[in-house]
């Protein structure tokens, strides 16, 4: 199963009068990178959010946006409830202890610095749990997007590998003709430039065999077939992170194709080699976007 490195996912939730939106998207990267856009009061939660993401997401440059809108909060003014309660309890206890008139305690506390502030209030645990679940829901949608896109990529990669294998089969008929043509060419050169009486036919046959062995591409064809089959096996494996491994296999495929082209000395085979290289380059482009 392939996972695309690009992905998108979002989720929505509500807590009391707050609307919570989580959006995630990713692009290619050799390593896992996480970037966040968070409300001010969620900056302290960045490490926990990163831990949630890193446990579920592999490779890619991932950007997550967390947006929380308080429907009743039109002027961005907040009361620090925790600090307000602390002052209220302390002042109430002190008034009772000293038998003082409590007066307008509410107005008194509101005039204390940092009670009314533009900074968002501290996160309450119930809200944080809702946000965590929204993040997990966004990750689930994000990973599904990656899997769906990866499935389409896998079909394309299989088709291109099969094209390379089909082109390799088409090389075989030209291989027999190539060996015969090379043999005839060497003999013609001998006849044109050397006296026939001075040629040791046994030695001549040995030299031709040696030369033809140097140009033999059967080993490259066998290894190319093996590498292509290995590539197809890895596509169907259960492993999630396989982009690097598929990249290494592509290097081996490319090496065999290049060697075969260098040894070919036949325009018909060279044509098939060029077509194989074209398919391989398209495969490499796809692999760059695989986890």
Contact predicate 45/187, CB 8 Å: no
Given the candidates 1.10.10, 1.20.120, 1.10.3470, 2.60.40, the CATH classification of the domain at 148-287 is 1.20.120
Assessment of whether the complete model's pTM goes beyond 0.75: no
Q: What is the CA radius of gyration of the chain?
A: 36
Using CA atoms, how far apart are residues 7 and 24, in angstroms rounded to an integer?
A: 8
State the pLDDT at residue 196: 58
Q: Which tens digit of pLDDT belongs to each residue from 234-250?
A: 998 888 888 899 999 99
- Determine the 3-state secondary structure of 67 from DSSP: strand
- Determine the 3-state secondary structure of 248 from DSSP: helix
Q: How does 77-87 read in b/e, with b if 16+ C-beta sit within 10 Å?
A: ebebeebbeeb
Give the pLDDT mean for 112-116: 75
pLDDT tier for residue 195 given thresholds of 50, 70 and 90 = low
Given the candidates 1.10.1740, 3.30.70, 3.30.230, 3.30.1490, the CATH classification of the domain at 7-74+124-147 is 3.30.230
pLDDT at 174 over 70: yes
Among 50-59, 90-99, 137-146, whose mean pLDDT is lowest?
Answer: 90-99
Using CA atoms, how far apart are residues 190 and 183, in angstroms rounded to an integer?
A: 11
CB neighbours of residue 171 within 10 Å: 22
Query: Torsions phi, psi of 122, nearest 5?
Result: -65, 150
Domain boundaries, the chain: 7-74+124-147, 78-117, 148-287
């Amino acid at each position: 199963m392939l996972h695309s490195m690009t992905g998108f996912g979002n989720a929505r939730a509500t807590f009391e009068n707050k609307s919570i939106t989580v959006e995630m998207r990713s692009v290619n990267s050799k390593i896992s990178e996480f970037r966040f856009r968070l409300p001010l009061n969620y900056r302290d939660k960045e490490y926990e959010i990163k831990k949630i993401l890193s446990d579920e997401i592999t490779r890619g440059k991932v950007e997550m946006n967390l947006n929380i809108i308080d429907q009743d909060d039109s002027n961005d003014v907040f009361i620090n409830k925790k600090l307000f309660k602390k002052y209220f309890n302390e002042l109430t206890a002190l008034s009772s202890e000293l038998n003082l008139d409590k007066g307008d305690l509410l107005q008194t506390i509101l005039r204390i610095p940092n009670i009314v502030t533009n900074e968002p209030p501290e996160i309450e645990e119930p809200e944080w749990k809702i946000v965590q679940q929204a993040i997990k829901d966004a990750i689930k949608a994000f990973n599904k997007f990656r899997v769906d896109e990866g499935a389409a990529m896998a079909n394309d990669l299989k088709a291109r590998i099969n094209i390379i294998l089909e082109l390799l089969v088409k090389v075989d008929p030209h291989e027999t003709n190539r060996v015969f043509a090379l043999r005839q060419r060497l003999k013609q050169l001998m006849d044109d430039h050397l006296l026939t009486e001075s040629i040791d036919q046994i030695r001549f046959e040995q030299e031709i065999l040696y030369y033809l062995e140097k140009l033999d591409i059967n080993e490259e064809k066998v290894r190319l077939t093996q590498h292509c089959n290995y590539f197809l096996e890895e596509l169907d494996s259960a492993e999630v992170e396989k982009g690097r491994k598929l990249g290494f296999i592509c290097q081996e495929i490319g090496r065999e194709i290049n060697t075969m082209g260098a040894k070919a000395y036949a325009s018909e085979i060279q044509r098939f080699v060029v077509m194989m290289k074209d398919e391989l380059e398209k495969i490499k482009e796809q692999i760059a976007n695989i986890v």
